[in-house]
């Protein structure tokens, strides 16, 4: 089945919008001001990614990019993006003690940053438009950096919590 630019725009906007909401909500459960600010920076960066992706596809209109008939990308879309990739924080924090809840939320964030990076990487690999490919490289790199930062935050949070 063909993949449209509109479909990719909607998925990308959802990834970034859900990421922003996820990080904003997570920040409400963090007492440490340094960690809270870090989480809010992540939320603001998701907003920037959303704007970049929207502009990219709006500027290029209905151009063919090369990803239209990519079966691997179609499979990723069908398997990974039919449901919300970010968890409902209320459910996480209601079901688990505070420490495990935040740890679990960060584990979900790690997984979703991996999926986002993978998604943008597949788009980049199949894209034939130089400008779009360049932006996708930047978005993929940003998502990978998010992944590394969330992993470091999780480790920091675990060490800090274990010392308490």
Give the Cβ contact number of residue 59 at 10 Å: 11
Residue 61: CATH number of its domain? 1.20.1260.10
pLDDT at 144 (0 to 100) = 92
Q: Which domain holds residue 128?
A: 5-163
pLDDT at 99 (0 to 100) = 54
Q: With CA atoms as reference, report the closest residue to 159 among 103, 94, 105.
A: 103
Q: What is the DSSP string of 112-128?
A: HHHHHHHHHHHHHHH--
pTM score, whole prediction? 0.78
Q: What's 97's DSSP letter? A: -
Tell me the pLDDT tens digit for each residue of 119-144.
Answer: 889 888 988 888 888 888 998 999 99
pLDDT at 79 (0 to 100) = 79
**Burial of 22 by CB count in 10 Å (0-12 exposed, 13-18 middle, 19+ buried)?**
buried
Average pLDDT per block of 10 residues along the chain, 164 residues long: 79 85 85 84 91 78 80 80 62 60 81 87 87 88 92 84 71
């Amino acid at each position: 089945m063909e993949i449209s630019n509109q479909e990719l725009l909607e998925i990308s906007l959802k990834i970034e919008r859900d990421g922003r909401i996820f990080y904003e909500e997570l920040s409400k459960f963090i007492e440490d001001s340094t960690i809270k600010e870090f989480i809010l920076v992540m939320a603001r960066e998701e907003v920037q990614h959303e704007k970049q992706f929207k502009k990219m596809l709006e500027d290029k209109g209905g151009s063919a990019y090369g990803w239209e008939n990519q079966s691997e990308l179609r499979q990723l879309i069908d398997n990974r993006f039919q449901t919300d990739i970010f968890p409902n924080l209320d459910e996480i924090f209601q079901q688990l003690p505070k420490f495990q809840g935040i740890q679990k939320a960060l584990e979900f964030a790690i997984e979703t940053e991996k999926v986002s990076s993978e998604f943008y990487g597949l788009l980049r690999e199949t894209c034939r438009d130089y400008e779009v490919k360049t932006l996708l490289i930047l978005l993929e790199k940003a998502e990978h950096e998010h992944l590394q930062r969330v992993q470091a935050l999780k480790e920091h949070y675990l060490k800090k919590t274990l010392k308490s």
